[in-house]
Chain A
Amino acid sequence: MTGKIKTVGICGAGGTMGAGIAIVAARAGFETVCYDTAADALSRARAQTDEFFGKSVERGKMSADDRDAAMARLSNTTDLGGLAGCDLVIEAVFEELTIKQKLFRALNGICAEHAIFASNTSTLSITEIASGCGREDKVVGIHFCLPAQLMKLIEMSPGINTADSIFDAAWAWTEAVGQIPVKTQDKPGFILNALLVPFNNDCIRAVEAGVASPADIDSAIKAGLGYRMGPFELIDLIGLDTQIRLSEAFYPITFDTRAAAPPLLRRMVAAGRLGRKSGSGFFDYAGNGMYGG
């Protein structure tokens, strides 16, 4: 089955994750069709991809010929019909169930019968995303980590109706593009986010409870556990608004109170402190000042 995958489609390829997945596919020799509703986002992503490959050449990670070939394998389209010839379509669109369901239903009428649909969701159920699409047996979870073009790990999940042969083919494709897949059940957050989302919320609640400042907690975690990044540095990086979105995806499904967004997190987002992207979160990136303490 893997041998049949020649052309890969990426939905949401104008976004950071989608563009990264497109790089992974094109770099490994697959014809890659990048789809997004926004043409300017696709153009921007292509320019960034060109720049990324350029750096790879400068650093001796790929030859100039390989860069040119990889770029030639990438094509852009704003027409969903442009994905008709794809053997594997990976969606990296907005993390909302109905949007993903609608996309797969539309693709079912466009793509060939053998085509596999994969979702890059980090939190939603693969079975629910597949539900009603018309090829529930050919839908799998392929969750890349950010930045996809650099991170090797992939969480792979079969839905309840996913055929073993389809899962195996998708697994083999991830290995063919040089990634390292791990298998997880189709449960909220799979492994990474199931461990990380409640942990991050616990850290925020520890600040609320006056246990220690964000700086002291980060320092303790790094010195005591050898983590490269403290939890508050990480939350600032992923975005406080994203942490709320993840919490809101988790809590209604798991009813784990640790997954519920802490009040401090909501107050900080209301105050415009979204993390690095807004210039301040738990830490202030303009003046190196610190929140809390």
Chain B
Amino acid sequence: MSYEIRQNGDSRSFPTGDAIFDAAIGGADIVLFLGTPPATVLPEADRTAILVELDTECLGAHTGESAGEEGSSVLGFARYRNGDDPPSDLIELVRQPNSDKDAIAAAKSLFESVGFTVCVCSDQAGRIIDRLVRPKYNDALRFLDEGLATAKDMDLTCCMGLGYPDGPIERVERGGMARHYQITHALFETYGAQGFAPARRAVVANARAGAPEKK
């Protein structure tokens, strides 16, 4: 399965030097748009699949939508990454209602052939991971503010009681509180559900990230 890379700016999924760049060739079956994709992405007649790297936006922002009938050989994807942690081995592959089945199969085959776990999801904000874990991180941050337990004890409880490799506070701190704000802000804007509203600590971190340094 051959692929071509078209890059515009930094890619969160595949940072400079990633092995994915080694086998890329021009004119291949599959095109990967890395970094900031074009405002509009269209199918290309001689390509099996066009894969658009997504950040917090939906694929429909680049393809347009049409009363639930949308879908083509243009798919979205993101390699899950907790803030600035190294990217994981998970690819969330984003489809629309009428996405081309051959395009999905080709995209899965490509990513799996280079060692990724591929999970297919519909085109909804937060895809799978952020939609599910960001409210939990918000809960943990709120519990911390309310004095339910210390950050250390909450993390220890999740590791020992649930077998997680790290606790929610440790993880969200490591990934960057301002990044947590960006993601939850986008989710809250889409869904309006309280669970997605950025936690107070994330609001503070975001304010500080944008504030000029005091002299």
Indicate the size class of the contact surface on chain B.
35 or more
Closest to A229 in B: B163
> In the complex, which of the residues A152, A191, A209 contacts B124, with contact meaning CB atoms closer than 8 Å?
A209
Cα A221 to Cα B117 with chains together (Å): 11
Q: Which of the candidate stretches A124-132, A167-175, A197-205 sits at the interface with the other chain? A: A197-205
Residues of A within 8 A of B128 (CB): 206, 211-212, 216-217, 220-221, 224
Of all chain A residues, the one with the shortest Cβ separation from B133 is A225
Residue contact B119 to A219, C-beta cutoff 8 Å: yes
A182 adjacent to B153 (CB under 8 Å) = yes
Q: Mark A174-211, 1 if CB is under 8 A from B, else 0.
A: 00000010111101001110111011001100100111
Closest chain B CB from A98 CB (angstroms):
26
Is the Cβ of A258 less than 8 Å from the Cβ of B129? no
Chain B 154-170 against A: per-residue CB contact (8 Å), 1 yes, 0 no? 10111011111110100
Per the bound structure, the CA–CA distance linking A211 and B131 in Å amounts to: 10
A41 within 8 A of partner (CB): no
> Please, which residues of chain A bring their CB within 8 A of the CB of B154?
191, 195
Q: In the complex, are the beta carbons of B143 and A199 less than 8 A apart?
A: no
Taking a contact as CB atoms under 8 Å apart, the answer to whether A185 and B147 are in contact is: yes
Q: A182-B153, A185-B149 are in contact. Are A203 and B119 (CB under 8 A)?
A: no
Of B129, B136, B147, which contacts A224 at CB under 8 A? B129
Q: A151-B160, A191-B154, A194-B139 given as contacts; is B149 within 8 A of A220 (CB)?
A: no
A153 within 8 A of B: yes
Q: Are A212 and B122 in contact (CB under 8 A)?
A: yes
Size of the A side of the interface (Cβ < 8 Å), in residues, is 42
CA distance A187 to B147 in the complex (A): 11
Alpha-carbon separation in the docked complex, A155 to B149 (Å): 10
In the bound complex, how far is the Cα of B88 from the Cα of A203, in angstroms?
A: 20
B160 to A152, Cβ gap below 8 A? yes
For residue A268, CB closer than 8 A to chain B, the reply is no
Query: Is A94 close to B, CB under 8 A?
Result: no
B132 and A191 within 8 A (CB): no
B residues in contact with A264, CB < 8 Å = none
Contact pick for B90, options A183, A190, A202, A223, CB 8 Å:
A223
Check B203 for interface membership: any CB of A closer than 8 A. Answer: no
Distance in Å: Cβ of B95 to nearest Cβ of chain A: 10
The answer to whether B80 has its CB under 8 Å from any CB of chain A is: yes
B contact residues around A228 at 8 Å (CB): 163
Q: CB distance A216 to B121 under 8 Å?
A: yes
CA distance A216 to B131 in the complex (A): 14
1/0 contact string of B81-121 vs chain A (CB within 8 Å): 00000001110100000000000000000000000010111
